A and B are shown apart, each in its own frame.
Chain A
Amino acid sequence: MFEIGLTHYLVVATLLFVMGIFVMITKRNAIGILIGVEMVLNGANINLVAFNRYNGMSNIDGQITSLFVIVLAAAEAALAVAICMNFYKNLNTVDVDHGDTLAG
């Protein structure tokens, strides 16, 4: 069995980050973009927890921070979904490219 170390967590986090960014750029669906955002946030969370665990820190700042991030993500998701619903009500779609009235 190989030892699972900091690097492994970091690789997972980085993958999540990159995938999240990729999703944000490619998706046209607003909910899709938000899922990308969640992936990046979770990447950050993994980073925080892993660093806290492996870098020999005497406190638990990382863990606590990750808790805050989870709460933030939840709050943001709740609001985002509400805004998406409002968008859908007005435009009958959540495709962000349809919102191009405001331009120039």
Chain B
Amino acid sequence: MNESLLTNLSILILLLPAAGALCAGALGPRHLKGNSHWPVVFGVGGAAIASYILLFQVAGAGEESSVLIELYQWFTAGGGSWFNVELLIDPLTAVMLAVVTGISTLVVIYSKEYMRHHDQPERGYERFFAFLGLFVFSMCILVLGGNFLLLYLGWEAVGLCSYLLIGFYYQKPSAAAAAKKAFLVNRIGDFGFGLGILLIYITFGCLDYATVFEAARLGMDHNVEALATLMSIDAIQASELAMTISSRLPIIALLLLCGAVGKSAQLPLYVWLPDAMEGPSPVSALIHAATMVTAGIYMMVRCGVIFASSDAVMMFIAILGAATAIFAATIALVQTDMKRILAYSTISQLGYMFLGVGCFAAGSAVFHLMTHAFFKALLFLGAGSVMHAMGGIIDVRRFGGLKRILPVTYLTMLIGSAALAGFPLLAGFWSKDEIVHAAFNQHVLLGVVGLVTAVLTAFYTFRMMFLAFWGEERVPEGVSAHESGKWILVPLGILAIGAIFSGYFGVHVHGGGFLGFLEPHGALHHFLEPVTAPFAAHAHEAHAAEIGHGFFAAIAHHWLMYLSALLSILGILVAYVWYVQRPWLPQVVRATFPKAHFVLLHKYFVDEFYDTVFVSPLRRLGRFCYQADVFLIDGIVWFITVIPRMFGQSWRTLQTGALQGYGLGMAAGLALIIVLVMMTT
């Protein structure tokens, strides 16, 4: 590969959004004002162009598709070893960059119109764009970084940006509370993540990916000689190191997983994500659907060597993902706030990605990450467009039948919903199907959970669509609904195209029966193979016997594909019957028909169940924590500071201002020093 070109491109990708953010932040308040979006649009857009050039460079490179660029030495860890600022460019980075900068560009363009009311920029307009630019910069550091230190830096920085943007309307108490909640919940995960990185440093003595992963691989293989050469130590030390590595890797994996669970909103740390919808819709689309929340999946795929080394950890990840997927999907069934439905849906889809990683199908997880970024960003931006038209109201009970008022929004959101629901041939269908397939290979139950979640997904997505866009035309009082302008609609259109076609990056086209001519595991997977190799290696060990390559396996797979297509359509149909054909059905059924009543009750029961088991204990815990915070933590803090304050006060009285007193102080100080020196020696 052309290394200098890659270096320049990656520097551009980092600097352009940062420069845009700086420009918007510094010049925005006084000079740019309502034009503050321009530097960020150009910065992020330029980064996107550079990312796509980079992607093509990497894609054209073939075998040697991984390059480590050492920009400069950063600071010493003592003893002559340096932490470097180094960038790792490989297929995974390239794909992530393309997704992040591509979606970001569309979101920034969208925000230009969204963050205005009656063509007047909202309060904090320049702040919003500065934070967006900063977020893109941080996210690029996260995915480009060539060592754990930069990963951690980006990880914390995107968390900070997320906090700042959730709390963008900080005058609103709910927004401020949501921002705080997101920050605190993420702290829990990040604490584990930080410990994991610390443990890596303690174990390997360095933090760069190349050395750590190679050493981990050699340590697991117990290849003492190669390990000794790599770490430049003697054989005995190497043998000890190999033992340490094999015993510590699962712990490291679990600690890193903590971070991923927090950032990617999995059980039990998912609670911050639904609340994060207090932020402006573009933020929800970009940070809380398409990019930041997928950082956990990125990290797990990146650290494949560490995660895939332990089957138990992988199984845990798979179960966690499956549980989160179905859990969040059931909650989404009964929500009425459009953005909250989408938020739970995001949690559920992230659960799919975890499931994919846990079932050794890292390529499929990244594939789903990519397709999900398109259709979920589309849905959030669409919801934002609806919200814009409805004067800030987003509750589907308060409006309906909007498809004639908002035709473009409706059409694009319909595409996005169909993709999310796994409607055949759209993006979500392919990627989700692959994960379900991998789950079946791992364990039948995981696969079944995946399929059930798929039905639920189709149902709740179209329930939302039918409630909002079909039926009788209703708008909230005093709102003159209107379709949004081109700055909003063009990004929606582009994302809709992505929601239809992005699935075909991962599909291998060849001859065959119905749907059979499109085989999963196509170009994208092949492209990602260098990165996902650790998963593949372990997957072969685990499932070599189960995965057949013959006719039967192909049939089995195709059946699964037909089945998931059918289930998706089934979910949509049920939603259609309930919310369009017989809109009275839910109400009447609940009152009269015991069977349907049971189903509703059951759903209600699930909701209640989660409420009693998770939410209110959490709230009680929260209240307890608050009390503890007030009495215990504040008390401790007060107690800790009382000592310095006391000393500070008494010290102040010593400095009387009178020179004679100073002389006395000097004499006393000298005596104290003599005593201390005597004591020390």
Residues of A within 8 A of B (CB): 24-25, 28, 33, 96-97, 99-104
Contacts and interface: CB of A to CB of B under 8 A. Distances in A.
Interface stretch (B369-377, B483-491, B658-666): B658-666
B660 A97 contact: yes
Contact of B663 (A24, A99, A100, A104): A24
B655 interface: yes
B655 A97 contact: no
Contacts of B658: 96-97, 99-100, 103
Contacts of B660: 25, 28, 96-97
A25 B670 CA distance: 15
19 contacts: A24-B663, A25-B663, A33-B659, A96-B658, A96-B660, A97-B658, A97-B659, A97-B660, A99-B659, A100-B656, A100-B658, A102-B657, A103-B655, A103-B656, A103-B658, A104-B652, A104-B653, A104-B655, A104-B657
A28 B658 CA distance: 10
A101 B659 contact: no
Contacts of B653: 104
Contacts of B655: 103-104
A39 B658 CA distance: 23
A100 B659 CA distance: 8
B654 to A, nearest CB: 9
Nearest to A26: B660
A44 B556 CA distance: 102
A28 B653 CA distance: 20
A101 B655 CA distance: 11
Contacts of A99: 657-659
B26 to A, nearest CB: 39
**Interface residue tally of chain B, by bracket?**
under 10
A97 B655 CA distance: 13
Nearest to A27: B660
A22 B279 CA distance: 71
Contacts of B663: 24-25
Given A25-B663, A100-B657, A101-B657, 11 more contacts: A24-B663, A25-B660, A96-B659, A96-B660, A97-B658, A97-B660, A100-B658, A103-B656, A103-B657, A103-B658, A104-B657
B549 to A, nearest CB: 83
A102 to B, nearest CB: 6
Contacts of A104: 652-653, 655, 657
A8 B659 CA distance: 34
Nearest to B662: A96
Q: Which 3 A-B pairs have the closest CB atoms?
A: A103-B657, A100-B657, A96-B659
Interface string B632-656: 0000000000000000000011011
B646 to A, nearest CB: 15
B660 to A, nearest CB: 6
Contacts of A102: 657
A96 B659 CA distance: 6
A73 B420 CA distance: 88
Interface in B20-77: none
Nearest to B666: A25
Contacts of B659: 33, 96-97, 99
Contacts of A28: 660
A84 to B, nearest CB: 13
Nearest to A104: B652
Contacts of B656: 100, 103
Nearest to A21: B663
Nearest to B653: A104
A24 B662 CA distance: 12
A19 to B, nearest CB: 16
A33 B658 CA distance: 14
Nearest to B649: A104
Contacts of A96: 658-660
A52 to B, nearest CB: 30
A34 to B, nearest CB: 12
Contacts of B657: 99-104
Interface string B536-554: 0000000000000000000
B325 to A, nearest CB: 63
Nearest to A98: B658
B652 to A, nearest CB: 4
Greatest chain B CB density within 10 A among A24, A25, A28 is at A25
B655 to A, nearest CB: 6
B656 to A, nearest CB: 6
Interface centre among A24, A28, A33, A103 (most CB of B within 10 A): A103
A102 B662 CA distance: 12
Contacts of A103: 655-658
B144 to A, nearest CB: 51
Contacts of A25: 660, 663
Contacts of A101: 657
Contacts of A97: 658-660
Interface in B72-128: none
A28 B659 CA distance: 8
Contacts of A100: 656-658
A85 B653 CA distance: 29
A103 B660 CA distance: 13
A25 to B, nearest CB: 6
A103 B658 CA distance: 8
A20 to B, nearest CB: 13
A33 B652 CA distance: 25
Contacts of B652: 104
A83 to B, nearest CB: 13
B420 to A, nearest CB: 65
A33 B663 CA distance: 12
A24 B659 CA distance: 10
A99 B661 CA distance: 12
B657 to A, nearest CB: 3
A96 B663 CA distance: 12
A28 B663 CA distance: 12
Nearest to A30: B659
A29 B55 CA distance: 80
A27 to B, nearest CB: 9
B661 to A, nearest CB: 9
A100 B662 CA distance: 11
A16 B660 CA distance: 21
B396 to A, nearest CB: 63
A100 B658 CA distance: 5
A102 B653 CA distance: 12
A101 to B, nearest CB: 7
